[in-house]
Amino acid sequence: MNNMTRRAFLKASGIGMAILGTGGLSSFAAGTKGRRVVVIGGGWGGATAAKYVRLADPSIEVTLLDPNKQFISCPFSNLVLSGVESIKRLTIRYDSLRKHGMRIRHEAATAIEPDKKRVRVGNDYLEYDRLVVSPGIDFQWDQVEGLEAAKDKVLHAWKAGPQTVELAKQLQAIPDGGVFVLAVPLAAFRCPPGPYERACQVAWYLKNKKPRSKLIVLDANKDIVSKGGLFKAAWKDYPNLEYRPASKVEKIDTSDREVTTEIGDKVKYDVINLIPPQRAGAIAVQADLVGADKRWCEVDHVTYESVKHKNIHVVGDSTIGLPVPKSGNVANAMGKICAVAVAHLLNDKEVPPMPPGNTCYSWVNDKEAIAVVNSYKIENRKVVQIEQKLTPHKSVAVAQNSLAWRTSIWNDILG
């Protein structure tokens, strides 16, 4: 898969024929100057959308807004904790995107004004004809008593970057015989198998480096959210891992180094990794793109246009209502589908129905991984799952496939 061409990758993603069927990625180019697309967020969904709008119609003016000067991949960041991977290898500059002719501004969008079709960036305004919002996730600090006051000390490491590196240092510094507590929020959250992959990496590290230490997983959910059977099989290698389902953390006391669960258990820790409950990124909340749950954004399944505001599309982890996980691969697929939809809509063409796809790998030690593949179709303008396939067991081959996959998809997003 390393050497897969863009055409082959699009076909493999299940959306290539719709793009290629336009007669070429630049088939809309003639006589279409002056249309403006602004993309907020340069992650797996946003960067993909910005690139593919330009590929679909190079005459469309595209501006990508992201305050970060480098892309850091959340997928594979759990491996940084165990020392299997480095944050440097997960970090990619945005330079290659510029060759597609878009503008990239490393600034944050501070407000969206849907009625005026413009985005505020500091003291400046960017007007748009279509807006793509890919804001990722933010945290609901107030859902855990004591967390908001302690959020600078209690690491989530659920956005890859400095916190990932710092949590790795805390894990390395834990005393042999210490207790590492990993708190998992109620679904829905970014990357459903992510906490359980993290548990594998922490348990593997402790088993090999701090054999008298223990990992306690406090899961707010009644069971493992994703790949449950495969994770439970992998955990048989980790007698140092204690999994407690239905153990939602409701309070943290950093002075006593203790968390309290909703069932009244008090758990002491030496290192705490508390992943808070999540919602769509702040800009989506500000723009009233979230639904009645005040957490996630509902979108049209074919165009990814917000059900609340015309001309605004939402992709990635901040969406809800589709039977797809909040994964990097899904965000990438959404970005491409949304880009094609935007190009068609700006050219007054009917948007072809294109289902997303999903492949998700989870490493269970330093050399082996498991995976899931989800296939979907569009039925009555809704995304419907066709099938789900899991690898039968952990293997080195699956881990190696994941490395080839990430090379290809990173190039698809940023190349």
81 and 171 fall within a common domain: no
Same domain, yes or no: 228 and 297 = no
Determine the structural domain holding residue 203 and report its residue range.
141-274
Domain assignment present for residue 369? The answer is no
Q: Identify which of 340, 346, 342, 318 has the alpha carbon closest to the alpha carbon of residue 330.
A: 318
User: Which residues face 359 on adjacent strands?
Assistant: 373
Answer whether residue 385 is part of any domain.
no
The verdict on 146 and 265 lying in the same domain is: yes
240 falls within a domain: yes
In a domain, 128, yes or no: yes
Predicted pLDDT of residue 19? 52
CA geometry: angle at 111 spanning 110 and 115, to 5°? 165
| Same domain? 123 vs 173 | no
Structural domains of the chain, count: 2
Using the 3D structure, point to which of 216, 249, 274 is the last residue of a domain.
274
Q: Which of 222, 247, 274 is the last residue of a domain?
A: 274
Give me the residues paired with residue 243 across strands: 217
Is residue 398 situated within a structural domain? no
Q: Which amino acid is at 108?
A: A
Cβ-based neighbours of 74, under 8 Å, separated by 6 or more: 158, 159, 160, 190, 191, 194, 328
The reply to whether 245 and 342 lie within a common domain is: no
The angle at the Cα of 378, spanning 375 to 383, to the nearest 5 degrees, equals 70
Per residue in 187-244, pLDDT tens? 999 999 999 999 999 999 999 999 999 999 999 999 999 999 999 999 999 999 999 9
End of a domain among 312, 338, 354? Answer: 354
| 152 and 49 in a common domain | no
Rounded to whole angstroms, the Cα distance separating 402 from 409 reads: 10
Q: Are residues 220 and 301 in the same domain?
A: no
Same domain, 251 and 314: no
Residue 207's CATH number: 3.50.50.60
Digits of tens for pLDDT over the chain (415 positions)? 333 334 433 444 445 444 544 433 444 544 445 699 999 999 999 999 999 999 999 999 999 999 999 999 999 999 999 999 999 999 999 999 999 999 999 999 999 999 999 999 999 999 999 999 999 999 999 999 999 999 999 999 999 999 999 999 999 999 999 999 999 999 999 999 999 999 999 999 999 999 999 999 999 999 999 999 999 999 999 999 999 999 999 999 999 999 999 999 999 999 999 999 999 999 999 999 999 999 999 999 999 999 999 999 999 999 999 999 999 999 999 999 999 999 999 999 999 999 999 999 999 999 999 999 999 999 999 999 999 999 999 999 999 999 999 999 999 999 9
